[in-house]
């Protein structure tokens, strides 16, 4: 174990050393984010920062930690990573259409499904029993990977936001993988913490005020890796194993779900970008850039803590935890106006009930 910890610390150092070179490369390639109405940066900022994470992670896997992982899964995963990183780099340099980015994700997901054998096979529904997915295994697996990848991509709107939230989520997954029931193999925990180490080395350059952005190179790569690594515990899905990664990734999933709901209610295309995401709303309420990021880190930590309670709770406890976090989340979302200042159904319902109880008591 001590040997693994030392190699993870070396991975952090490698990431910290590689990032400045990737920053220079970004200027050479023209991978630069220029200020516009949707961006918070006030000056041109080098992107493709995810390339530094990709290089550092794979250096750790193939050099520092070699021999720790099943060969067929590792090479399939690496091939898929290359597809994702290439897709992200092309988008950062020339800007791909949403359909082309989606195609890149689907191709990469297909590689890990068929060549790596990483997929959902069975679903266990409480009170109903076990179901084999059969041919549905492929579309369900692809949907999971696409959804998580895009969720992480959507929260990459402030310096250090996606990086920090991903560190918290992945660290929680790693703890689950090693100590609880998310996955049966410790090598997955090592793989997860290797990615965490690469992210930690990159974060000082990415935290506000950032000197380099993740770009789609990084956001797609991190989201894809989180989706694939979480799938290692979802081959035979139960109520608990399905909920754990969803709760761990509560921040990006919440932002994505409410963004889709907001756009549908406003009769706008789901793919249309706006400035009403979670981080936008917090800044509009008066928080600074850094305060907003730290608040969302705190929210991610709450989700992480709740997810750790699931393996040690009974089924009834898990149901109660889920209800409580959904109600609490809805109250938070309505209070900051994530789907609109005038859309507060739960708050208004509670207000009416309190007023009615007050009249009855008088």
User: So where are the chain's domains?
Assistant: 2-256
- Residue 236: which residues within 8 A CB-CB, separation 6 or more? 121, 122, 124
Q: Which residues pair with 236 in a beta bridge?
A: 122
Give the pairing of strands 236-237 and 129-132.
unpaired
Q: Per-residue pLDDT for the chain (362 aa), expressed as one digit of tens each?
A: 778 889 999 999 999 999 999 999 999 998 888 766 555 556 788 999 999 999 999 999 999 888 777 778 889 999 999 999 999 999 999 888 888 999 999 999 999 999 988 888 777 666 566 677 788 889 989 999 999 998 898 888 888 999 999 999 999 988 888 776 544 567 888 899 999 999 999 999 999 888 999 999 999 999 999 999 888 866 556 666 777 888 888 888 888 888 888 878 777 776 666 677 888 788 888 888 899 999 999 999 999 998 888 888 887 888 888 888 888 888 888 888 877 777 778 878 887 887 777 666 65
* Burial call 227-266: b when 16+ CB within 10 Å, e when fewer: bbbbbbbbbebbbbbbbbbebbbbbbbbbbbbbebbbeee
**Which DSSP symbol is given to 61?**
I
Binding residues for Mg(2+): 153, 216
Q: Collapsing DSSP states into helix, strand and coil, what is residue 236?
A: strand
* Burial call 298-316: b when 16+ CB within 10 Å, e when fewer: ebbebbbebbbebeeeeee
Query: How many Å apart are CA 168 and CA 196, to the nearest integer?
Result: 9
Binding residues: 153, 216
Query: How many Å apart are CA 65 and CA 202, to the nearest integer?
Result: 19
Q: Which of 272, 286, 210 is nearest to 42 (CA)?
A: 210
């Amino acid at each position: 174990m001590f040997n693994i910890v030392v190699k993870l610390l070396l991975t952090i150092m490698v990431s910290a050393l590689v990032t400045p070179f990737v920053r220079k490369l970004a200027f050479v390639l023209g991978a630069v984010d220029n200020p516009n109405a949707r961006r918070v940066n006030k000056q041109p900022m080098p992107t493709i920062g995810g390339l530094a994470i990709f290089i550092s992670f794979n250096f750790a896997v193939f050099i520092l930690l070699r021999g720790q992982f099943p060969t067929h899964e590792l090479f399939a995963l690496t091939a898929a990573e290359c597809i994702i990183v290439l897709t992200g780099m092309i988008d950062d340099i020339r800007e791909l259409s949403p359909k082309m980015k989606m195609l890149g994700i689907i191709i990469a997901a297909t590689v890990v499904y068929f060549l790596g054998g990483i997929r959902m096979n069975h679903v266990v529904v409480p009170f109903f029993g076990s179901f084999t997915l059969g041919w549905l295994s492929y579309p369900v697996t692809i949907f999971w990977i696409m959804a998580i990848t895009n969720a992480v991509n959507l929260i990459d709107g402030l310096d250090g936001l996606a990086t920090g939230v991903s560190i918290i989520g992945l660290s929680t997954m790693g703890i689950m993988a090693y100590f609880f029931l998310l996955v049966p193999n410790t090598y997955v925990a090592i793989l997860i913490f290797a990615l965490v180490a690469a992210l930690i080395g990159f974060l000082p350059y990415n935290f506000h005020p950032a000197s380099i952005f993740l770009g789609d190179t990084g956001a797609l790569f991190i989201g894809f890796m989180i989706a694939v690594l979480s799938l290692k515990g979802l081959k035979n899905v139960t109520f608990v194993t399905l909920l754990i990664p969803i709760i761990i990734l509560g921040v990006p999933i919440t932002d994505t779900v409410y963004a889709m709901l907001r756009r549908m209610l406003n009769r706008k295309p789901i793919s249309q970008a706006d400035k009403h995401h979670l981080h936008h709303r917090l800044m509009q309420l008066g928080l600074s850039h850094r305060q907003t990021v730290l608040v969302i880190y705190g929210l991610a930590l709450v989700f992480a803590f709740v997810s750790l309670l699931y393996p040690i709770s009974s089924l009834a406890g898990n149901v109660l935890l889920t209800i409580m976090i959904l109600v609490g989340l809805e109250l938070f979302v309505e209070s900051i106006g994530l789907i609109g200042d005038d859309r507060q159904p739960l708050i208004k319902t509670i207000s009416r009930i309190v007023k009615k109880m007050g009249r009855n008591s008088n």
